[in-house]
Structure formats: structure tokens, C-alpha cells
Amino acid sequence: FADRNSEALAGKYKMEKRLLEAGAKKGEVTVSLMWDNIPTARNDLDLHVIAPSGEEIYYSHKRSACGGELDVDRMQDALEPVENIVWPRAPSGEYAVYVNNYSASHQGHTSFKVSVTHKGSSQMFDGKVGPPGAKDRKILVTKFTH
């Protein structure tokens, strides 16, 4: 268990460092995505969150009527990409978090971490998405109620 806990702490630290460097905001609800690129294998993963209103926040719809905002979208050009969606005042209800592999320079799967912070606590999720065009290029990471 010690290895799993130290790995989780390292992931949380990496996420916080990237968000701080990118100038990310924090709010009542904050959902963040990070993954690693290497010069020979780059990806543009996208964080999508469906708010309780049914509105989807992502790169093509950065601000929602319910107050959510994609405020950080560091992607394929960075070796340490990160994305962040935040609600300063979050509406009550169910949220659904997805990760989509929008584009990649290779055909392999890409590992990622998603952090969800609400009600004063954070939870980290690990996952993998398939390459663009694959059935698993967009996956549901989690749903939560705020």
C-alpha cells in the first residue's frame, strides 16, 4: 500500500505543479487533466465535463451559462500538458467527466490522470484512451454529485 500511496502523492504533486505554472484557477468544483508527451509521441487530449444543466464544457465551448470555464488548455505542443475546468460557484447536481484523444502522432494508447475537487476534497483517477478513430478514444472517467 505504501507504493500506491506514494505514487498517488507524486501524481497529485505533479498535477498541482503544472496547474500552478499554467495559472489555473480553483473553485467550488475543479476538474483537471494531465498526461505526458515525449518528442516522438505527442497527443492532444481534451477534458470534457457535462454540467448538471446538460451543457458540455470543452475546447470548443470554453464557458458555460452555469459558470463553468475551461481556463487552461495546454496541449500537444507541451511535454507536460494540462487542462483545467473550474466553477467558482458550482451548481448542484450530477457532473460527468470525459477524456477524449483529439489527435496523436502515434497509434498507441495514452495514459492520463484526472483530478476532481469538490466539497473540500480531491480524488485522482488514472485512465487510458485509445488513438483517434478508435472506439475508446473518448471515455467516461467519473460521475459525481455536487
By CB atoms closer than 10 A (0-12, 13-18, 19+), residue 103 is middle
Domain extents in the chain: 2-145
**Candidate CATH numbers 1.20.1050, 2.60.120, 2.60.60, 2.60.40; the one for domain 2-145:** 2.60.60
pLDDT of residue 1: 45
**CA 63, 110, 3: angle at the middle one, nearest 5?**
105
pTM equals 0.92
Compute the distance between CA of residue 48 and CA of residue 58 in angstroms, rounded to an integer.
5
For residue 3, name the pLDDT band (cuts at 50, 70, 90): low
Write the DSSP assignment of 111-129 as a string of letters: EEEEEEEETTEEEEEEEEE
Mean pLDDT to the nearest integer, 71-90: 89
pLDDT band at 25 (very low <50, low <70, confident <90, very high): very high
67: left (phi over 0), alpha (psi -120 to 50) or beta: left
